[in-house]
Chains A and B, each alone.
Chain A
Amino acid sequence: MKYAGLLVMPAGFFLTLAALVLFPDPARRSAFVLCGLAVECLGFVVTIRAHIPARGSSRP
């Protein structure tokens, strides 16, 4: 899952980039930039969750 999360993060970035190019209207542009950031945050959370070690597998 951590690789999936890491792949989702650039996808969010490209969404923000697309917002800059496709929407000259400030309101729509802002909304899509926020959507891109939300996608990045989603990928970030997935990556973080995938890295949390299970307590039973921790080294003594």
Chain B
Amino acid sequence: MTQIPPIVSAGGASMTDAELALTLVLLLLAPLAIVGVALINTGLGRSRSAAQALLGSLMLVAVTAIVFLFVGASFAGTLGNSEIALHAAGKTWSVFGLGPFLLHGISSASPQAQLALLFEFLAVAMLAIIPWGSGADRWRLAGGCVSAAVLAGIVFPLAAHWIWRSGWLAELGANFSLGAGFLDAAGAGAVHLVGGLSALALVWIAGPRRGKFPKEGLSTAMPGHSAVYVLFGCLLALVGWLAWNAAGAVLWLHTPLAQLPVTAINTLLSASGAVMITFSVTRFRFGKPDASLCANGWLAGLVASSAGAAVISPIAALFIGGVAGVFTPLVVELLELALSIDDPTGAITVHGAAGLWGLLAAGIFSPQSGQFLAQLVGIAALLGLMLPLLFLLFAILNRIVPFRVDPDGERIGMDLHELGGGAYPEFVIHRDESYR
């Protein structure tokens, strides 16, 4: 166990009162990103599972907050000044933090540490609702809650400590002269890439929706039930993301207030470039633009901006978004048609692939030398360790609390099966033609 400096002096500077006040306001706006993703998840699922999808998002936010309070916050080490570290090759490799149990002493912690903790509470909630969308129409509430508990108690604290506090990825710059260490100001890696990998592990374990991949022919199209929810969710997500990226830049990169407008402009440009390109690609491929894929493109642009919006130029942000806009519809199609992966919300692509691209792009466009290699090492850590860990944990959990609803529950819909009533009781329910 080693001692680390308190977070107030991280980066060598404490925050001014103006920075503290602005960061608090930004963090109070950031939950709109979670609201947006929850609405998108609901809209892209079926109408007979809509209430369960939205209630699930609410429950996951609650579960992650409670579990992070009891377990995760200690291991993330945001409030503490101790850590478990390995010493090898003359370097210190901080693996996880040792903060006070139950946030003991939070009121006497520095305001910067309290804000960092609030950021992590929001980040872990966002992380948990990403795979929830991928399991739409078949993932039980109980399964969602226990998986969220594992994410908040084990997986996220590890990633957060490595990347944001004083973990070995954050120290790559000091220890190995790799740029400024792993660059991920607003969670492209710790939240979105890990969320996308969680979604992939979940989809592998839970399997596709009934009737999605019939014995013969192409996969069955199961469109979302409300494009309005989805597109309104995108607009809400923009507000949240502008605040999230700016708050992350102040907290973890110590970006001066004068540079925050550029961070916000870069976020907007990345999303704009992505949605324009996705609009064009789907218009070209299908004859008409696809609303749900455009929403995916928009969100992918926001996710891709999360790593480096504070350090790149506006034209680079536009390019990063544009690339995300190109691959989003193609990867969604590849996963469904070639790999038989049933991901109703496209979370694996939107959060996983776009998060990965955002991390790489931050290394490409960062002015620091050696930054690209630091990004590669961080990606290797998240991909090579987190995916096997997530699959193992979810597989064990699935044995204890089965993730998937029984076939009868899937047939009548998650609302009726789990909640006893539908989200839209006045709707006429037609026979589902997809069961063939």
A21 is contacted by which of B88, B379, B435 (Cβ under 8 Å)?
B88
Name the interface residues of B375-390: CB closer than 8 Å to any CB of A. 376-377, 379-381, 383-385, 387-388
A9: nearest chain-B partner, CB-CB: B384
A33 is contacted by which of B377, B387, B391, B392 (Cβ under 8 Å)?
B377
B224 at interface, CB cutoff 8 A:
no
Tell whether, in the assembled complex, residue B436 and residue A60 are in contact, meaning their CB atoms are under 8 Å apart: yes
Known A-B contacts A21-B88, A21-B89, A37-B379; the reply to A56 vs B215 at CB < 8 A is yes
Tell whether, in the assembled complex, residue B388 and residue A6 are in contact, meaning their CB atoms are under 8 Å apart: yes
In whole angstroms, how far apart are the Cα atoms of A36 and B381 in the complex?
A: 10
In whole angstroms, how far apart are the Cα atoms of A36 and B215 in the complex?
A: 38
Tell whether, in the assembled complex, residue A44 and residue B204 are in contact, meaning their CB atoms are under 8 Å apart: no
Interface string of A1-30 (1 = CB under 8 A from B): 010001101111100110011000010011
B340 at interface, CB cutoff 8 A:
yes
In whole angstroms, how far apart are the Cα atoms of A12 and B145 in the complex?
A: 32
CB distance from A38 to the nearest CB of B (A): 10
A46 at interface, CB cutoff 8 A:
no
Name the interface residues of B145-172: CB closer than 8 Å to any CB of A. 172
B216 at interface, CB cutoff 8 A:
yes
Interfacial chain B residues near A47, Cβ < 8 Å: 387
Tell whether, in the assembled complex, residue A7 and residue B380 are in contact, meaning their CB atoms are under 8 Å apart: no
Interfacial chain A residues near B91, Cβ < 8 Å: 21
A-side residues, CB < 8 A to B, are 2, 6-7, 9-13, 16-17, 20-21, 26, 29-30, 33-34, 36-37, 40, 43-44, 47-48, 51-53, 55-56, 58-60
In whole angstroms, how far apart are the Cα atoms of A59 and B381 in the complex?
A: 36
B429 at interface, CB cutoff 8 A:
no
Interfacial chain B residues near A58, Cβ < 8 Å: 213-215
B210 at interface, CB cutoff 8 A:
yes
Known A-B contacts A16-B376, A60-B436; the reply to A53 vs B384 at CB < 8 A is no
B381: nearest chain-A partner, CB-CB: A13
B387 is contacted by which of A9, A26, A29, A56 (Cβ under 8 Å)?
A9
Tell whether, in the assembled complex, residue A37 and residue B380 are in contact, meaning their CB atoms are under 8 Å apart: yes
Tell whether, in the assembled complex, residue A53 and residue B340 are in contact, meaning their CB atoms are under 8 Å apart: yes
B262 at interface, CB cutoff 8 A:
no
Tell whether, in the assembled complex, residue B387 and residue A55 are in contact, meaning their CB atoms are under 8 Å apart: no
Tell whether, in the assembled complex, residue A40 and residue B384 are in contact, meaning their CB atoms are under 8 Å apart: yes
Tell whether, in the assembled complex, residue A7 and residue B388 are in contact, meaning their CB atoms are under 8 Å apart: yes
In whole angstroms, how far apart are the Cα atoms of A13 and B89 in the complex?
A: 17
CB distance from B352 to the nearest CB of A (A): 11
B382: nearest chain-A partner, CB-CB: A13
B90: nearest chain-A partner, CB-CB: A21
Interfacial chain A residues near B213, Cβ < 8 Å: 53, 55, 58
CB distance from B183 to the nearest CB of A (A): 16
In whole angstroms, how far apart are the Cα atoms of A26 and B377 in the complex?
A: 13
In whole angstroms, how far apart are the Cα atoms of A59 and B370 in the complex?
A: 50
Which of A20, A43, A55 gathers most chain B CB within 10 Å? A20
Tell whether, in the assembled complex, residue A40 and residue B204 are in contact, meaning their CB atoms are under 8 Å apart: no
Tell whether, in the assembled complex, residue A60 and residue B388 are in contact, meaning their CB atoms are under 8 Å apart: no
Interface string of B115-138 (1 = CB under 8 A from A): 000000000000000000000000
In whole angstroms, how far apart are the Cα atoms of A5 and B372 in the complex?
A: 26
Name the interface residues of B409-436: CB closer than 8 Å to any CB of A. 435-436
In whole angstroms, how far apart are the Cα atoms of A9 and B213 in the complex?
A: 28
